[in-house]
Amino acid sequence: MKNQPPVHTGRHFLQIPGPTNVPDRVLHAIAFPTIDHRGPEFSDLGKEVIAGMQRVFQTEGTVVMYPSSGTGAWEAALVNTLSPGDRVVMFETGQFATLWRQMAGRLGIEIDFVPGDWRHGVDPAKVIEKLAADREHRIKAVCVVHNETSTGVTTRVPAIRAAIDEARHPALLMVDTISSLGSIDYRHDEWGVDVTVGGSQKGLMLPPGLGFNAVSKKAMAASKTAKMTRSYWDWQAMAESGHTGFFPYTPATNLLYGLREALKMLLEEEGLPAVFRRHERHAEATRRAVNGWGLEVLCADPREYSSALTAVVVPDGYDADRVREIILDGFDMSLGTGLGKMKGKIFRIGHLGYFNDLMLCGTLCGVEMGLHRAGIPHRAGGVAAALEYLGALQSGA
Ligand SMILES: *Cc1c(COP(=O)(O)O)cnc(C)c1O
């Protein structure tokens, strides 16, 4: 039996920061029979989920939805608003910002990539500096990742908006919220964002397979003159779906059943403000555990702590992936790996989506036992610190 993989009983703990745990009721909804996407029943479904997504994005503007991963929605944001040779400013906050930049480069966009240390969000002062220096307004967009999933650092989007306004620059503001939407407060309209990019498999508690753009009037106007080649991603035909409930090509019908159910949970039952408070509370409890272990949270600025995930730095000379491997083998829990520059240096605890106090307790217990088994120097009492915090405060307080 030596080389057999371990047999696990009970539920797997999927504590990567996306895809996240999908509620059973969402899985059941997805199992309903597929219907005719051109038939009368479909229209109500289409209109309902688009209207629900407007509430999630906190916008009254256009929301488009693709049968795609989040990466598709990234591409849609760029190709609908820009022309070949256009200049954009992007910020090296982590792996996802780096990948979005790579995509923009492949599309023939000129990128000013502001270097970063993967421990901070976008610095508003840098935004002002870049835009103020661009007197001819060659920069067409400022692109930021709201919640950098590779580092657990959240950029303060209102401060970025204020920086663009202070520089009196007409650039569009594009924001990736793939891992923050439905877990961290985000306001497309109020924060003056032009294109917001979202995905289904993180805060929205769905399997992978849906990509979203929320589009401002200014971005929609830009799309009328943008020259980038596009077909599948074109907003014009998609934008009608909010009114008609129909899509220009076959939508991911069964995922839309799931989305309808998830929206009911987020908007009608728990309510977004309580959803955000729950995530903040679980993030705080997680950081207390990390501090209790005497380990370091990767995010260097408390104003930028992510409520969706926490990246934990493993001491020099130890391999974070070995800790993850031990935890997966021993306790059947998946934690996020260190991506790109952070490979082997950190592991990431996802605490977003369909999640509660006891699931967090189980998660932190698994980490503490894993640290012990892996021989990572740490103090006892991390879990105890989290329990004390969770036990003292009522859920939603
Ligand atoms: C997950 C993620 C992506 C990529 O989404 P895919 O669905 O894997 O294409 C992009 N940006 C952020 C911030 C993410 O968390």
Task: Decide if 2 is inside a domain.
Answer: no
Q: Tell me which of 216, 251, 268 is where a domain ends.
A: 268
- Identity at 342, one-letter amino acid code: M
Domain tally, the chain: 2
pLDDT at 394: 62
Is 1 a residue whose pLDDT tops 90?
no
CATH number at residue 175: 3.40.640.10
Q: Tell me which of 268, 299, 326 is where a domain ends.
A: 268
Question: Are 261 and 118 within one domain?
Answer: yes
Cα distance between residue 246 and residue 44, in whole Å: 9
Ligand 1 centre distance from Cα of residue 391 (Å): 33
pLDDT tens for residues 120-169?
Answer: 999 999 999 999 999 999 999 999 999 999 999 999 999 999 999 999 99
Ligand 1 centre distance from Cα of residue 145 (Å): 10
pLDDT at 6: 84
Q: What is the CA radius of gyration of the chain?
A: 21
Is 396 a residue whose pLDDT tops 70?
no
Question: Are 210 and 307 within one domain?
Answer: no
Determine whether the shortest distance from the Cβ of 70 to ligand 1 is under 6 A. yes
Residue whose CA is at the smallest distance from ligand 1 atom 2: 178
Determine whether the shortest distance from the Cβ of 291 to ligand 1 is under 6 A. no
Task: Decide if 328 is inside a domain.
Answer: yes
Confidence at 61, pLDDT banded by 50, 70, 90: very high
Question: Are 164 and 85 within one domain?
Answer: yes
Confidence at 2, pLDDT banded by 50, 70, 90: low
Ligand 1 centre distance from Cα of residue 72 (Å): 10
CATH number at residue 310: 3.90.1150.10
Ligand 1 centre distance from Cα of residue 93 (Å): 14
Question: Are 260 and 319 within one domain?
Answer: no
Question: Are 32 and 170 within one domain?
Answer: yes
Question: Are 264 and 275 within one domain?
Answer: no
User: Which atom of ligand 1 has the smallest separation from the CA of 74?
Assistant: 10
Q: Which of 68, 145, 149 to mutate to test the pocket of ligand 1 (most atoms within 8 A of CB)?
A: 149
Longest dimension (CA), the chain: 70
pLDDT at 395: 54
Closest CA to 192 of 232, 138, 142: 142
Question: Are 230 and 288 within one domain?
Answer: no
pLDDT tens for residues 186-210?
Answer: 999 999 999 999 999 999 999 999 9
Determine whether the shortest distance from the Cβ of 337 to ligand 1 is under 6 A. no
Determine whether the shortest distance from the Cβ of 73 to ligand 1 is under 6 A. no
Determine whether the shortest distance from the Cβ of 353 to ligand 1 is under 6 A. no
Task: Decide if 5 is inside a domain.
Answer: no
Determine whether the shortest distance from the Cβ of 83 to ligand 1 is under 6 A. no
pLDDT tens for residues 227-273?
Answer: 999 999 999 999 999 899 999 999 999 999 999 999 999 999 999 99
Task: Decide if 137 is inside a domain.
Answer: yes
Question: Are 63 and 77 within one domain?
Answer: yes
Determine whether the shortest distance from the Cβ of 382 to ligand 1 is under 6 A. no
Task: Decide if 1 is inside a domain.
Answer: no
pLDDT at 397: 46
> Strands 172-176, 139-145: parallel, antiparallel or unpaired by DSSP?
parallel
Determine whether the shortest distance from the Cβ of 212 to ligand 1 is under 6 A. no
- Identity at 170, one-letter amino acid code: P
Task: Decide if 74 is inside a domain.
Answer: yes
Question: Are 117 and 194 within one domain?
Answer: yes
- Domain ranges, residue 374: 13-20+271-395
Task: Decide if 186 is inside a domain.
Answer: yes
Q: Tell me which of 268, 296, 317 is where a domain ends.
A: 268
pLDDT at 55: 98
Q: Are 230 and 79 in contact (CB under 8 A)?
A: yes
Question: Are 67 and 205 within one domain?
Answer: yes
Average pLDDT rounded to a whole number, residues 92-109: 98
User: Which atom of ligand 1 has the smallest separation from the CA of 145?
Assistant: 13
Which long-range contacts link 99-107 to residues 24+ away (Cβ below 8 Å)?
99/71, 100/74, 100/143, 100/145, 100/176, 103/71, 103/74, 103/75, 103/78, 104/78, 104/143, 107/75, 107/78, 107/79, 107/82, 107/228
Residue whose CA is at the smallest distance from ligand 1 atom 3: 70
pLDDT tens for residues 282-333?
Answer: 999 999 999 999 999 999 999 999 999 999 999 999 999 999 999 999 999 9
Confidence at 3, pLDDT banded by 50, 70, 90: confident
Q: Which residues are paired to 197 by β-bridges?
A: 176, 213
Ligand 1 centre distance from Cα of residue 69 (Å): 8
Mean pLDDT over the full length of the chain: 97
Question: Are 30 and 156 within one domain?
Answer: yes
Question: Are 154 and 238 within one domain?
Answer: yes
Task: Decide if 82 is inside a domain.
Answer: yes
Counting every residue written for the chain, the total comes to 397
Is 381 a residue whose pLDDT tops 80?
yes
